[in-house]
Structure 1
């Protein structure tokens, strides 16, 4: 009898320990930070070759509050930037080489409210589904330089992006307060509007929509959350 009672107490302790991180009234804070660099160089060249490089970064802290057991409502605020440079050289017959250089810079803010629900799997492991609806806005500058006829153009753009997505994932709780997450996009929609300043004839305002479903563009993300 005493052994059965101890077993029951142990099972209850494991259950409470596994669920304590996502109980009503709890909070979570976390976020992500990223950096990428891409460089392009020609392997050989005859009449033309191009080089270029780009760098981008982003940071996105988030906060959530549990309004019910395993149910959290939160907000993510992010900032990101990008810089891309390219140089192209053209040799036309026996004439002098022609150079085309371009530099683009951009930065944007985004605000994304989200709703997340956890499902217990086993001790320390949970599955979650997350729905996001938000918007991003920013500015960019594009510089174009042509050495042949010394043409230089600078165009300023304003960007607005509306987005919605569903991102499921798994959370591992090595301790009661810390969770390591692996998430992946399942369903995503975005609409982007790009307005130019109208100064240059080569600039163009754009509007495009993107819809993604399934794992054809599988890009998992890893994050860490503190539950308290």
Structure 2
């Protein structure tokens, strides 16, 4: 029995001491697309984010890295009203933001098994971008003969904006082989502030604290094994 316990302890600690070697490099990234349609007001919100990431292990189980990418958001709406009988006014609009994303990070791994690791990642996501507003108002008057249609268009560049935050993400990383892993982040704890560059602009702050199944993200990573 004693020999069995000793053998089990050796196996357990042998697995738990497996480490990712210093000098290891990996490639990963984020690709996200989301769209929300609201039939109550005929609005649609679209978000596209692409952020390739590279990481480098400066010490066993400790990596630093950088993500650089692009984010596009488009909020649009369409609404038709009839202020008087036989007169119809249709309003359409888009609010578009495009930004470059830069996100340095540090990630610490803890070994759970020969191929399974728990990690915690601290990052500083930053976004630098600008926006544009486009819209039109079309009025159709059926009270006259022939009916008349008038359209007024609006296009305006918005001020540039800067967004800076701090984010902590816990997760699990499983090595399928020496080059490929599957990782999952479970929730996010962070803070973000966004401000437009014009006189009198005030910052918009966002706090994000959550660790549940609805915030789980799954991705793959390629490791240049040493």
For normalisation by structure 1, the TM-score amounts to 0.78
Deviation of 1:127 after TM superposition, in Å, equals 0.3
Q: Distance in 1 between matches of 2:47 and 2:122?
A: 26
* Count of residues in correspondence between the two structures: 206
Q: Distance in 1 between matches of 2:151 and 2:116?
A: 62
Q: CA RMSD in A?
A: 3.0
Aligned to 2:89: 98
Equivalent residue in structure 2 for 1:33, among 31, 38, 44: 31
* Cα distance per residue 1:101-136 (max 9 Å; x no partner): 102222111111100010111231110000001311
Equivalent residue in structure 1 for 2:209, among 209, 213, 220: 213
Q: Distance in 2 between matches of 1:19 and 1:32?
A: 27
Q: Distance in 2 between matches of 1:180 and 1:152?
A: 49
For normalisation by structure 2, the TM-score amounts to 0.79
What are structure 1's unaligned runs of at least 5 residues?
43-49, 199-203
2:18 alignment partner, SS class: helix
What are structure 2's unaligned runs of at least 5 residues?
140-149
Q: How does 1:8-157 map to 2 (within 5 A)?
A: 15=15, 19=18, 22-41=20-39, 50-148=41-139, 150-157=151-158
1:55 touches 1:84 (CA, 8 Å); kept in 2?
Answer: yes
Equivalent residue in structure 1 for 2:162, among 140, 146, 160: 160
Q: Distance in 1 between matches of 2:127 and 2:58?
A: 27
Deviation of 1:150 after TM superposition, in Å, equals 4.8
Structure 1 outlier segments of 4+, above 6 Å: none
2:130 alignment partner, SS class: strand
1:23 alignment partner, SS class: coil
2:191 touches 2:206 (CA, 8 Å); kept in 1?
Answer: yes
1:24 alignment partner, SS class: coil
1:89 touches 1:97 (CA, 8 Å); kept in 2?
Answer: yes
Q: Which moved more, 1:149-158 or 1:64-73?
A: 149-158
2:83 alignment partner, SS class: coil
